DNA sequence: TATTGTTATACTCTATAACTATA
DNA sequence: TATAGTTATAGAGTATAACAATA
């Protein structure tokens, strides 16, 4: 029903440039929402990753794309605030699992819900069909980048 | 030509969650490309903002969403590396314009071109129609967020 | 020897508060 | 007084290198 077949975008930044701006906008939203809960974007990301269950340090470095020493510091800071705890691994005595405390779980949920609500607000003026289309297109980009990148294959 | 009218996305994360992942992916790309040129994401962003022409410090704080003292430091570091220079403002003796040096202009161009190329690669598996659609949808989200946000109106 | 994680160190990034110089 | 910008300070985030403990 969109009259023309595929008209070029009105304000033509190019797709890549548009993605840069979108990413910056979303990134700023991470930070703004984080401030409400006194969480940095990195801390919030960590908590959200732990919401599904305990994760080992090494696995976390892969999930967050951090060096292990960087993760040590990040976990230290949220542990000091009582949001996570290090628990011994059952079989490997070198390893630790990082788990959310009840307080950390609450923070993770609150942050996540708030973030999603804000992002939904950002797209709420799009008609439902367009939102679905956008989601599907983004998913395709993510599938390509996450699944088939040469960097990912090399790893 | 897309058979169904509006089928729900296959892997249904929801739109907001998809945007979170996309933003993280793009952000990581900023950092990776930056490393090639020995630039942090923030330094690269600054250089790219200056590519259109000299900008005053106060205006830069608005463009980069930084406090003025944070900007002082950021400009200091790239100035120390010879990528930008502070030049006096013609009429206001308190003010400075930040300008790219020739070396900084080269870095800005190289970084920008590399970044755009990488992001284009990320979307190059999409059919041209889908790329246009995606660009238009992202542009709509940006227009809404940049133009009509309550936060923006409040400012 | 390899892996898991921490410590030491150095830098960048950021904000708040206090300050200087100019308008 | 208000604005443009810097300085001082403190804390978060990150990486590299060296290390300890366990596998």
SS (H, E, C) B56-119: EHHHHHHHHCCCHHHHHHHHHHHHHCCCEEEEECCCCCCCEEEEECHHHHHHHHHHHHHHHHHH
Which of A3, A9, A33, A63 should one mutate to test binding to chain B, selecting the residue with the greatest count of B CBs within 10 A? A9
> Which phi and psi angles does A125 have, rounded to 5°?
-85, -10
> Helix or strand or coil: residue A6?
coil
Kindly report which amino acid residue has its CA closest to the C1' atom of nucleotide C17. Answer: B69
Q: What count of other Cβ atoms lies within 10 Å of the Cβ of residue B38?
A: 9
Q: Where are the beta strands (DSSP E) in chain A?
A: 55-56, 84-88, 96-100
pLDDT in tens, B98-146: 999 999 999 999 999 999 999 999 999 999 999 999 999 999 999 998 8
Residues A84-133 have pLDDT tens digits of 999 999 999 999 999 999 999 999 999 999 999 999 999 999 999 999 99
**How does the average pLDDT of chain A come out, rounded?**
91
Hey, what are A130's tokens?
A: 């367009």
Nucleotide nearest to A69 (CA to C1'): C6
Q: CB A9 to CB B135 under 8 A?
A: yes
Among A9, A20, A30, the residue with its CB nearest the CB of B139 is: A9
């Amino acid at each position: 029903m969109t009259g023309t077949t595929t008209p070029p975008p009105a304000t033509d930044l190019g797709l890549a440039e548009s993605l840069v701006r979108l990413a910056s906008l979303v990134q700023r939203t991470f930070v703004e929402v984080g401030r409400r809960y006194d969480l940095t974007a990195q801390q919030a990301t960590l908590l959200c990753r732990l919401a599904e269950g305990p994760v080992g340090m090494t696995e976390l470095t892969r999930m967050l794309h951090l060096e292990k020493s960087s993760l040590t510091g990040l976990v230290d800071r949220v542990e000091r605030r009582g949001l996570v705890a290090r628990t011994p691994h059952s079989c490997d005595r070198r390893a630790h699992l990082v788990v959310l405390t009840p307080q950390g779980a609450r923070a993770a949920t609150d942050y996540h819900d708030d973030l999603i609500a804000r992002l939904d607000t950002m797209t709420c003026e799009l008609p439902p069909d367009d939102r679905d289309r956008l989601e599907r297109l983004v998913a395709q980009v993510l599938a390509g980048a996450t699944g088939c990148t040469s960097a990912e294959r090399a790893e």
